[in-house]
A and B are shown apart, each in its own frame.
Chain A
């Protein structure tokens, strides 16, 4: 060693890093700042070890990097890709400290050719469905407002079904859900979905159909881009809702369905009303019905009064019969009627002209009025002041 180099050494030994310190620092830098990334490249020398892990190099025209794929993911990926295969990989850049090597830990490999073919197929299906008018906004049907029976086409043990049931149970428990189970991904999913949609048409009383699944990788949603599934969905005889994946996922069934929902829960919200709103409406109609009758009888009473002198006994009798009928009907009204208040012992003083007497000033000495009680009326008169 020569003197100038020696003089370049730091003064304190504390300023000298160990190899491990450097590799750890680099590892921290890389792993903190970079998450999972999609990388496009060419596979080189993919070696599958007996442990099940794969090691390979990914390269492009200028650079290359070492990659590993752990057993669990490698098993799902099938066979190791041959040299020269163009791929997309999903991986997390990291540092292999023992070897001082930078590497990418890969979780997914997709050959670019497969993506290309899939994309082409998607475009083809899209264009034929478009040509046949399946995306036409004018064929969209409105959803029922108070569905009694909802068909759900999905995996019977998936999260999507659970979410739908939870929402319908909360909002609209007076309904019935008929689950038509189908695999939603993997081999046979397409055929099972087509079959399930056919069965929906045979469910008695069905009023709306939800087809969907929870979120997943893009290729897991594949079946929902299939031409056969889209056509089967269009052939469902009741309005349909497509709810595939998360908010950001879009599939062709979303365009074919009458309504697209961002999630299965949102589909359920669209399919049924909130029982609280409906109950409010029923209560409102009940009150208006009772009121309407009260107005009508008051009007009839006035007319009777006006022609009072000329009334024959028969007419009086008829009026009496009507009154009985009203009383009988009023009793039926039960909860919705103000008469219920009377049943608790309250009475309503009513002037001969039908006005309800509410204040002290409404009563003049000697005035006649009617006291309306629960089971009829009692004639009354204001007595001399005490």
Chain B
């Protein structure tokens, strides 16, 4: 994976859910002590919140490329 691809993947919902899955699994395992458990729980809550935040956008955004001449693409909303 290129560094760029990794950067993009960071913080994606898929990534968030995967991390959350691991946290839950570790929390469910018998060998965590209370302090570690609490830390895991705190992180889990944080990630849950982030995941819910992602899902909360209720309206699909549709954009179109208006200008591709410059370094940055010019995007505008499209009514479909």
Contact = CB atoms under 8 A, between A and B. Distances in A.
Interface string B39-73: 01110110010011011111111111100100001
A177 B61 contact: yes
A156 B64 CA distance: 9
B27 A289 contact: yes
Most buried by A among B30, B38, B75: B38
Contacts of A161: 80
Contacts of A325: 38
A310 B41 CA distance: 29
Interface stretch (A64-72, A241-249, A326-334, A348-356): A326-334
B19 to A, nearest CB: 10
Contacts of B33: 300
B29 to A, nearest CB: 9
B12 A146 contact: yes
Contacts of A156: 64, 78
B47 to A, nearest CB: 9
Contact of B63 (A144, A177, A299): A177
A178 interface: yes
A172 B13 CA distance: 12
Instruction: Give the interface SS of chain A, mostly helix, strand, loop or mixed.
Output: helix
Contacts of B75: 178
B54 A205 contact: no
Interface string B5-28: 000100011100100110110011
B57 A173 contact: yes
A22 to B, nearest CB: 56
Interface in A309-329: 322, 325-326, 329
B28 to A, nearest CB: 5
A293 interface: yes
B17 A281 contact: yes
Interface size class of B (residues with CB under 8 A): 35 or more
A303 to B, nearest CB: 9
A275 interface: yes
Interface string A161-172: 110010011001
Interface string A156-195: 1000011001001100111111111100000000000000
Given A288-B28, A300-B34, A282 B52 contact: yes
Nearest to B2: A237
B64 A333 contact: no
A336 interface: yes
A178 B65 contact: yes
A289 B24 contact: yes
A286 interface: yes
A174 B80 contact: no
A329 B41 contact: yes
Contacts of A113: none
Contacts of B60: 165, 168-169, 172-177
A199 B65 contact: yes
A23 B35 CA distance: 96
A199 B32 CA distance: 49
Interface string A205-218: 10100000000000
A106 B68 CA distance: 44
A75 interface: no
A179 B59 contact: no
Nearest to A336: B48
B55 A278 contact: yes
B13 A180 contact: no
- The list of the 10 closest CB pairs from A to B, nearest first, reads A292-B27, A296-B37, A300-B34, A146-B13, A174-B57, A176-B61, A179-B64, A169-B60, A165-B80, A146-B14
Given A174-B58, A279-B55, 10 more contacts: A146-B13, A175-B61, A178-B63, A178-B64, A179-B62, A202-B68, A285-B17, A292-B24, A293-B37, A329-B42
21 contacts: A148-B12, A165-B60, A165-B80, A173-B60, A175-B60, A175-B61, A176-B61, A176-B63, A177-B61, A178-B75, A179-B78, A199-B65, A199-B68, A204-B73, A282-B17, A282-B51, A285-B20, A289-B44, A292-B41, A296-B41, A326-B38
